[in-house]
Structure formats: structure tokens, C-alpha cells
């Protein structure tokens, strides 16, 4: 038998059980060291130096970045250690624009919490003079760099877990800050709006883009009829903001609070999730039967959809054409509720309460607006709903439970499961089993697709066939599956993709929890919600059946397809905005040089420099026939022309030059200038 290994923590021996660092071993001793940049799912960074301990023979060490060794002697609370922690925290405070009374993260801020625990009332260090503009152009996220303490949590989350890298450290020394490339807005780069950077930001530098004021305006407008839909994951997280344990189910209190806020009807997005299952499984079976393009990939998560549009447009035919449950609800509500409620369609307002920041972006997509009427008018997150309840003076914990309104408040357990990773797949299998076999499914649980692993493939054995399915959460895992499909290495039939690690229960709009087991608790609670219902299969929802019978006709039919399905578009060219490298204002010849990765390695950067020098040295703005000081030639850097194997790629007045050389581009510029001169003479 292998000898057990221990470390001594403040004189107590603690068993080492495959922990990757001393910090995790210390936590087993019921000692919660302060940490600021440590997240178990991210790489070890060791920037904040708050988790320092005294290791006998090694001195002061960051416990997050040192491996445990048998016989190690650790002290966690010496006078020296306490002083170091206090100084380090004061330095963080000096680098932070303190706006606690108005900050979205007030009372749920790691910096605030640690300052209280360590006993800091003020910082002795001179505050840094920072005054960067706040970026609020994104539909989902507000970035205030003045609050940033450079912990790097958001950067690592975006790179390592989501494999997007929309933000990073820019500049050096005292000028270092976190921002997108070239100082652009989050709205103009490859950000997928997942909000995981918001979830890990400990100081409110990245927050949810608020939409509460617009909702208040409609609620107080007597001419508006305002209905609200609530996503499954909200009900197992909202109570945490009012002091309940992580995962507490408070559906009835939440519904009561929404009615007290003034919503005319309160509905459940789980209803349209049931509808999504009907359409999606029908699409899967038709593809399998007709040898259509497989695997079919779910399209419920807008961050995943945008990720696919940006990085894997060649796989867009694999995505289900089904709208997400949010947009299905909006589409059905805008069609049916005006008659049901006796209101004008233009005066009907649909509000969503979502665990997800990307749903804000999704609702604004042009595909989901018809004749200037959006399917979903406003999206607020769980945390925004909490603020609205608090602002209204509602004592949440004293509320009695109330029920969702019918018919769109009725759901099955299958619809509820959409909030968990693997939940969409399980709900789909509950329907697919009966469709394929013709048998009634008695035990509806498919526990085989459940689990915490970020990437799993499962073979589901049916009586006369096998269905191979995949489940992925976090976009780095989605990328792995996409590469396999792209390279012809996948034989999977059906894949569920979710951007957030663990699914919607940990979406970017959910309350930030300091409970180390909050994900497990929220996940378990959603499965409990399923168990507490009498119906567990989406096809058993009688109100969904009525809508198909009276309004939509056949599942997957023409009417259903028109109302419940959509299309997707390549976003490989991430923005129509080019980067001006000459500070020009007016121009008559526009030159755009691709600086994407493939063109960069083929020399586009050097080509860009030569062109700037050429335009500047030749003073093209002073050419005969043109007004003084008017820019004649504008040179800018842009991104992918989707001709990656033919770079460098340059556009001169929308004429594309592949494998461009300086001589070829110079000649094209001269030709365009000559055209301009002739036009002016005419």
C-alpha cells in the first residue's frame, strides 16, 4: 500500500489527495485563504499575492502556485503574512476607481469583501490617475477600464475557457490595461457576448449592459401591455441574491415579485423550450432518414451561434434552423397574444428574464424583427431582475408563491432541463426515443448524458438502432468538436453546444456566488424541478399540442417553419470597421490591407508600412486637381477577406488584389487616382 502523504497546516496534518496546489489542501483544513485571481477552472496566475503562506525552508510563497509535498510545514497567519496581504490589497485599491455606491457589483464585490475581512478602511498609497473612456457600445457588456485592477481573470477566461481572446493586456508598465485589440469596442471585435468575463471580474470593471430603465418605462406606460418570460435557470439562482443557499428554488416567489412589479402576464420560457424540442428532433430525424447533413447541432445558445458564424461558417448548415426558446416564445407571443389579450400588436411588449448576457444581443439580431416589431423587446438578466425587485421595495423572502399564467406558463420537465449542460440533449432523447421506437418511454431519465465533463460523446442504444450524441460546454470544447467535424473525424449524429461552463445555470447574467459548489447545487436543483413536475417529456405538453393543432399544423411543417425557424450568416469578417492608420478624414481612394493571421505571416504588415510611407512621402493630398488638405488616399488595416490561402490580400476601392505586392497595389492606386482626376475634370 502506498504511504499516505501529509502537509502540516498551522500545526495540523492535512492529507494530500491529488490536489494541484497547496491552496486546495489548505481549504480542506477549513481555512479560506483570500484569493483574487484564483479560479480552479483557469490557469494559475499568481498575480494578486493574497493567498501567500509561509513555507518552512522556502519562505513566503503564493499557495496557488506551489505544489504540495509530503512533510511540508505551512503557516497561513503569521504577522509577516498578514502585513503582506494588507499591503497587496491596498495596492489593488490604489489602482481601482472606487465607486461603490453606484457600482453594479456593490455588496457582491470580491475587493469589497476582502477589504472588510482583512480590515482595510483606506489605502495608504497614492491613487493612479486613470480616466479611460467607458465602452458601452456592446449590446451585452459594459467595460469600465478605470475599475480594473489587472487581475487577468477576464483575459484568461476569454482565452482559455472560451478560446475567443476578444480581450487582452495592452501597453506596458503603468499604461497597462485590459482591452480588445487596437483599443476597439467590444461591439466591434470577436466577442461572443457570453458574459463569462463579467462572471469572473471581481471588481465591476466588466458588467452587464443594463436594460432596466426601458422595462420600467414600458411597465409605467398605461398604453402598453407588458408580458414577461422567465428562463429555467433563473429560478435556481435568484434566491441567492436575497440570502438563500445556492441552488434554492424560489419559482413561486419570483412569479409573485414579477406581478408586483406590474407585468400583466408572467410566462415560462420552458414552455417554448418544449416547442423547441418538437421542432429540433423532427429536424434531426428528417436529416437521418434523408441522409441530410449531420451532425445536427443545437442552436439554443446565441454565444455558440455567433462563435460558429465567426470561426466555422462552413458548419452553419449543421446548425439546427430552430430559433432559441427565447425567440420562439417571442415569435409565438407576438402572433397569438394580441388576439388572446385583446391588445394591439404594436402595444404588446415582450420582456425576457435570462441568465445570459448574449440573449440581449440575440434579441437585437435583425432576423428577429419584422416590420419594425421585435419578437422580444427587452432582455434583462437575473441580476437586473433582483435590482428591480429591490428598487420597488419588495421584500422577496416574505412573498407567498404564485403560479405562472396560462397557457404559456405550462411546461414539462424536459423544458426545465434546458438550463443545464446536457439538458437539451436529454429532453431531445425523451422525444426521439418515442418517435423512433413507437414505444412509450416509462423511465424518462437519460442520466448517461449528464455530467460535469466539458466534452462528452455518448452512444444511446435504442431497441433497433444506435444514436451517437455529443455534449459540449465552454467554447474551447466546442472548438474541439468543430475541428473534428470539419476534418471529417466525427460520426456523431446530434450535438448540444453551450457556451457557458456548466450551461445556463452559470450564465453571465446570473448572480456571482462565492460558494465553491454553487454550480453543482444549481444543476441539482434543476433536475429536482424536473422531478417535481407530473410531466417530463416535451411531447406531453398539452398546450404545445393545442398550438400545433390550432395554429401551426404539422411539427416541422410550413407554418411552423415560418414562425419558429431562422437562418445564420457568416461573420468571419468580424466588422465592417477598418482601422485608420493615417488619421485621414476624407478620401477618394480607399486602400484596405488585411492584417489577419494568414495575411500577416505572408507580409501584410510590411506591405502596410510601405503603403503608408508611399502615400505620406508623395503628399497625395496636394496633387493637382484636388483641394488642399483633403485626403485623396486612405490606407487602413482591416480583417479577413476569407482568402486566407492567397494573402496578402489588399482592396483598392473594392477591387481585391490577391498575393499583393507593393508594386501591384501602387499601380492600382495610380489607376484609381487617374479616374478621380478625370471625374473631377468632367
Q: What pLDDT was estimated at residue 48?
A: 80
Per-residue pLDDT of 328-346, as tens digits, reads 999 999 999 999 999 999 9
Per-residue pLDDT of 458-475, as tens digits, reads 999 888 788 999 999 999
Q: Identify the three-state secondary structure at position 135.
A: strand
What is the CB-side half-sphere exposure of residue 154 using CA atoms within 13 A? 30
pLDDT of 627 over the 50 cut: no
Q: What is the CATH number of the domain that holds 185?
A: 3.30.70.20
Q: What is the mean pLDDT of the chain?
A: 89
Would residue 324 count as lying in a domain? yes
* 359 assigned to active site: yes
Q: What pLDDT was estimated at residue 102?
A: 64
pLDDT of 589 over the 90 cut: no
Q: What residues pair up with 179 in beta bridges, in sequence order?
A: 168
Q: What is the CATH number of the domain that holds 42?
A: 3.10.20.740
Would residue 82 count as lying in a domain? no
Least confident of 75-89, 202-216, 586-600, 664-678: 586-600
Q: Name the pairing type of β-strands 206-208 and 141-143.
A: antiparallel
**Residues 50 and 114 grouped into a single domain:** no
Q: Identify the three-state secondary structure at position 152.
A: coil
**Residues 533 and 615 grouped into a single domain:** no
**Candidates 504, 529, 594, 640; catalytic one:** 504
- What is the distance between the alpha carbons of residues 539 and 274, in angstroms, rounded to a whole number? 7
pLDDT of 2 over the 90 cut: no
pLDDT of 118 over the 80 cut: no
**Residues 497 and 511 grouped into a single domain:** yes
* Contact by Cβ (8 Å): 90, 60: no
| Number of CB atoms found within 10 A of residue 164's CB | 25
pLDDT of 122 over the 70 cut: no
- Residue 629 pLDDT class (50, 70, 90 cuts): very low
Q: Position of cell 465592417? A: 576
* 320 assigned to active site: yes
> CA 286, 287, 293: angle at the middle one, nearest 5?
165
* Helix axis angle, 423-437 to 269-289, nearest 10°: 50
* Contact by Cβ (8 Å): 272, 562: no
- What is the distance between the alpha carbons of residues 299 and 322, in angstroms, rounded to a whole number? 7
**Residues 272 and 194 grouped into a single domain:** no
What strand order describes the sheet that includes 225-230? 265-268, 225-230, 348-354, 378-381
Least confident of 111-115, 224-228, 477-481, 661-665: 111-115
The set of residues, in sequence order, having a beta carbon less than 8 Å from that of 307 and lying 6+ positions away, is 164, 192, 475, 478, 499
Q: What is the CATH number of the domain that holds 632?
A: 3.40.30.10
Query: Burial, 62: exposed, middle or buried (Cβ in 10 Å; 0-12, 13-18, 19+)?
Result: buried
Mean pLDDT on 178-201: 93
- Residue 123 pLDDT class (50, 70, 90 cuts): low
Per-residue pLDDT of 401-437, as tens digits, reads 999 999 999 999 999 999 999 999 999 999 999 999 9
The DSSP string of 242-298 is GTPPTT---HHHHHHHHHHHT-SEEEEHHHHHHHHHHHHHHHHHHHHHTT-SS-EE-
**Residues 153 and 234 grouped into a single domain:** no
- Chain center to CA of 437: 37
**Candidates 139, 190, 240, 283; catalytic one:** 283
- Residue 485 pLDDT class (50, 70, 90 cuts): very high
**Candidates 280, 375, 496, 631; catalytic one:** 280
Q: What pLDDT was estimated at residue 573?
A: 61
Q: What pLDDT was estimated at residue 628?
A: 45
Percent of the chain with pLDDT over 70: 90
* 362 assigned to active site: yes
- Residue 254 pLDDT class (50, 70, 90 cuts): very high
**Residues 141 and 223 grouped into a single domain:** no
Nearest to 336 by CA among 521, 125, 179, 550: 550
Q: Identify the three-state secondary structure at position 495.
A: strand
* 347 assigned to active site: no
C-alpha dist (Å) from residue 309 to 167, 485, 570, 590: 19, 15, 5, 27
**Candidates 286, 367, 558, 606; catalytic one:** 367
- What is the distance between the alpha carbons of residues 494 and 552, in angstroms, rounded to a whole number? 25
Would residue 51 count as lying in a domain? yes
Q: What pLDDT was estimated at residue 624?
A: 42
- What is the distance between the alpha carbons of residues 382 and 395, in angstroms, rounded to a whole number? 17
Domain boundary among 523, 541, 564: 564
Mean pLDDT on 141-146: 93
**Candidates 64, 109, 194, 300; catalytic one:** 300
Q: What pLDDT was estimated at residue 622?
A: 47
Per-residue pLDDT of 639-668, as tens digits, reads 777 677 788 999 998 889 999 999 999 999
**Candidates 209, 306, 334, 359; catalytic one:** 359
Least confident of 120-129, 185-194, 265-274, 649-658: 120-129
pLDDT of 587 over the 80 cut: no
**Residues 281 and 421 grouped into a single domain:** yes
Mean pLDDT on 398-402: 97
Q: What pLDDT was estimated at residue 99?
A: 66
Mean pLDDT on 502-508: 95
C-alpha dist (Å) from residue 597 to 639, 641, 648, 653: 9, 11, 10, 23
Would residue 85 count as lying in a domain? no
Would residue 193 count as lying in a domain? yes
**Residues 525 and 587 grouped into a single domain:** no
Would residue 540 count as lying in a domain? yes
Best-predicted range by mean pLDDT (303-312, 432-441, 602-611): 303-312
Domain boundary among 77, 101, 129: 77
The grid coordinates listed for 73 are 510545514
- Chain center to CA of 151: 20
* Helix axis angle, 382-391 to 212-219, nearest 10°: 50
Q: What pLDDT was estimated at residue 125?
A: 64
Q: What pLDDT was estimated at residue 381?
A: 97
**Residues 397 and 518 grouped into a single domain:** yes
Per-residue pLDDT of 219-232, as tens digits, reads 999 999 999 999 99
What is the CB-side half-sphere exposure of residue 115 using CA atoms within 13 A? 21
- Residue 623 pLDDT class (50, 70, 90 cuts): very low
**Candidates 139, 190, 362, 631; catalytic one:** 362
Nearest to 105 by CA among 193, 40, 200: 200
Would residue 197 count as lying in a domain? yes
> CA 568, 573, 579: angle at the middle one, nearest 5?
145
More confident residue, 172 or 447: 447
Number of domains in the chain: 4
Q: What pLDDT was estimated at residue 33?
A: 86
pLDDT of 603 over the 60 cut: yes
The grid coordinates listed for 92 are 489593488
Mean pLDDT on 54-71: 90
Q: What is the CATH number of the domain that holds 325?
A: 3.40.50.1780
- What is the distance between the alpha carbons of residues 237 and 364, in angstroms, rounded to a whole number? 25
More confident residue, 37 or 496: 496
Domain span at residue 49? 6-77
Q: What is the pTM of this model?
A: 0.81
Burial 508-524 (b: 16+ CB within 10 A, else e): bbbbbbeeeebbebbbe
Mean pLDDT on 246-270: 97
**Residues 290 and 406 grouped into a single domain:** yes
Q: What are phi and psi of 13, to 5 degrees?
A: -80, 125
Q: What pLDDT was estimated at residue 454?
A: 94
Q: What pLDDT was estimated at residue 40?
A: 72
Nearest to 509 by CA among 263, 326, 374: 326
Would residue 87 count as lying in a domain? no
More confident residue, 574 or 355: 355
Domain boundary among 531, 564, 597: 564
Percent of the chain with pLDDT over 90: 64
Mean pLDDT on 434-456: 92
Nearest to 389 by CA among 205, 230, 202: 230
Q: What pLDDT was estimated at residue 187?
A: 93
What is the CB-side half-sphere exposure of residue 500 using CA atoms within 13 A? 31
The DSSP string of 386-405 is HHHHHHTT--GGGPPP-PPP
- Residue 129 pLDDT class (50, 70, 90 cuts): low
**Candidates 320, 331, 525, 538; catalytic one:** 320
pLDDT of 621 over the 70 cut: no
* 191 assigned to active site: no
The grid coordinates listed for 200 are 469572473
Q: Is the bond preceding residue 295 a cis peptide, omega within 30 degrees?
A: yes
pLDDT of 583 over the 60 cut: no
**Residues 402 and 499 grouped into a single domain:** yes
Mean pLDDT on 524-536: 96
Q: What pLDDT was estimated at residue 595?
A: 84
* 426 assigned to active site: no
**Residues 507 and 455 grouped into a single domain:** yes
The set of residues, in sequence order, having a beta carbon less than 8 Å from that of 677 and lying 6+ positions away, is 623, 624, 625, 626
* Contact by Cβ (8 Å): 634, 587: yes
Amino acid at each position: 500500500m502506498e504511504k499516505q502523504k501529509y502537509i502540516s497546516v498551522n500545526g495540523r496534518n492535512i492529507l494530500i489527495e491529488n490536489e494541484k496546489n497547496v491552496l486546495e489542501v489548505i481549504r480542506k483544513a477549513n481555512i479560506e485563504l483570500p484569493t483574487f485571481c484564483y479560479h480552479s477552472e483557469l490557469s494559475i496566475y499568481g498575480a494578486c499575492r493574497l493567498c501567500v503562506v509561509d513555507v518552512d525552508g522556502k519562505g513566503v510563497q503564493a499557495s496557488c502556485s506551489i505544489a504540495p509535498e509530503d512533510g511540508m510545514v505551512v503557516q497561513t497567519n503569521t504577522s509577516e503574512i498578514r502585513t503582506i496581504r494588507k499591503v497587496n490589497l491596498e495596492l489593488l485599491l490604489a489602482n481601482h476607481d472606487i465607486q461603490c455606491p453606484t457600482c453594479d457589483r456593490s455588496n457582491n464585490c470580491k475587493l469589497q469583501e476582502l477589504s472588510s475581512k482583512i480590515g482595510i478602511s483606506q489605502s495608504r498609497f497614492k491613487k493612479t490617475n486613470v480616466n479611460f473612456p467607458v465602452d458601452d457600445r456592446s449590446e451585452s457588456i459594459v467595460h469600465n477600464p478605470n475599475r480594473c485592477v489587472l487581475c487577468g481573470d477576464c483575459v484568461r477566461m476569454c482565452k482559455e475557457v472560451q478560446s475567443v481572446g476578444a480581450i487582452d493586456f495592452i501597453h506596458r508598465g503603468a499604461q497597462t490595461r485590459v482591452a480588445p485589440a487596437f483599443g476597439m469596442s467590444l461591439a466591434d471585435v470577436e466577442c461572443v457576448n457570453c458574459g463569462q468575463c463579467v462572471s469572473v471580474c471581481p471588481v465591476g470593471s466588466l458588467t452587464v449592459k443594463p436594460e432596466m430603465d426601458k422595462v420600467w418605462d414600458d411597465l409605467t406606460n398605461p398604453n402598453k401591455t407588458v408580458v414577461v418570460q422567465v428562463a429555467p435557470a433563473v429560478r435556481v439562482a435568484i434566491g441567492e441574491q436575497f440570502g438563500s443557499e445556492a441552488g434554492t428554488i424560489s419559482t413561486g416567489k419570483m412569479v409573485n415579485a414579477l406581478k408586483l412589479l406590474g407585468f400583466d402576464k408572467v410566462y415560462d420560457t420552458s414552455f417554448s423550450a418544449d416547442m423547441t424540442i418538437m421542432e429540433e428532433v423532427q429536424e434531426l430525424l428528417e436529416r437521418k432518414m434523408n441522409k441530410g447533413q449531420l451532425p445536427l447541432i443545437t442552436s439554443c445558445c446565441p454565444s455558440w451561434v455567433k462563435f460558429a458564424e465567426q470561426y466555422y461558417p462552413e458548419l452553419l448548415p449543421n446548425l439546427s434552423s430552430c430559433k432559441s426558446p427565447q425567440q420562439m416564445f417571442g415569435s409565438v407571443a407576438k402572433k397569438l397574444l394580441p388576439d388572446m389579450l385583446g391588445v394591439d400588436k404594436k402595444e404588446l411588449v415582450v420582456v425576457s428574464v435570462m441568465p445570459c448576457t448574449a440573449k440581449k444581443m440575440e434579441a437585437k439580431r435583425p432576423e428577429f424583427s419584422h416590420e419594425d416589431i421585435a419578437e422580444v423587446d427587452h432582455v434583462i438578466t437575473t441580476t437586473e431582475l433582483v435590482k428591480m425587485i429591490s428598487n420597488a421595495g419588495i421584500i422577496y423572502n416574505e412573498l407567498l408563491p404564485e403560479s405562472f399564467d396560462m397557457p404559456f406558463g405550462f411546461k414539462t420537465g424536459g423544458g426545465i432541463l434546458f438550463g443545464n449542460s446536457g439538458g437539451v440533449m436529454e429532453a431531445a432523447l425523451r422525444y426521439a426515443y418515442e418517435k423512433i421506437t413507437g414505444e412509450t418511454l416509462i423511465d424518462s431519465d437519460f442520466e448517461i448524458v449528464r455530467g460535469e465533463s466539458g466534452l462528452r460523446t455518448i452512444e444511446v442504444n435504442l431497441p433497433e438502432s444506435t444514436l451517437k450524441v455529443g455534449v459540449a460546454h465552454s467554447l474551447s470544447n466546442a472548438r474541439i468538436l468543430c475541428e473534428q467535424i470539419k476534418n471529417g473525424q466525427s460520426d456523431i449524429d446530434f450535438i448540444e453546444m453551450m457556451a457557458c461552463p456548466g450551461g445556463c445555470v452559470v450564465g453571465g447574467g446570473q448572480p456571482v456566488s462565492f460558494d465553491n459548489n454553487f454550480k453543482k447545487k444549481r444543476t441539482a436543483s434543476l433536475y429536482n424541478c424536473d422531478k417535481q413536475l407530473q410531466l417530463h417529456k416535451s411531447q406531453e405538453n398539452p398546450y404545445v399540442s393545442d398550438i400545433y393543432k390550432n395554429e401551426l399544423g404539422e411539427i416541422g411543417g410550413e407554418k411552423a417553419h415560418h414562425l419558429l425557424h431562422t437562418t445564420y450568416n457568416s461573420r468571419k469578417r468580424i466588422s465592417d470597421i477598418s482601422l485608420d492608420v493615417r488619421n485621414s478624414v476624407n478620401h477618394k481612394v480607399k486602400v484596405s490591407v488585411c492584417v489577419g493571421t494568414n495575411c500577416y505571416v505572408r507580409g501584410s504588415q510590411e506591405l502596410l508600412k510601405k503603403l503608408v510611407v508611399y502615400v505620406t512621402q508623395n503628399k497625395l493630398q496636394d496633387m493637382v486637381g484636388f483641394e488642399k488638405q483633403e485626403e485623396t488616399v486612405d490606407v487602413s488595416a482591416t480583417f479577413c477577406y476569407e482568402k486566407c490561402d492567397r494573402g496578402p490580400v489588399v482592396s483598392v476601392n473594392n477591387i481585391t488584389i490577391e498575393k499583393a505586392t507593393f508594386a501591384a497595389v501602387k499601380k492600382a492606386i495610380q489607376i484609381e487616382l487617374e479616374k478621380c482626376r478625370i471625374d473631377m475634370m468632367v
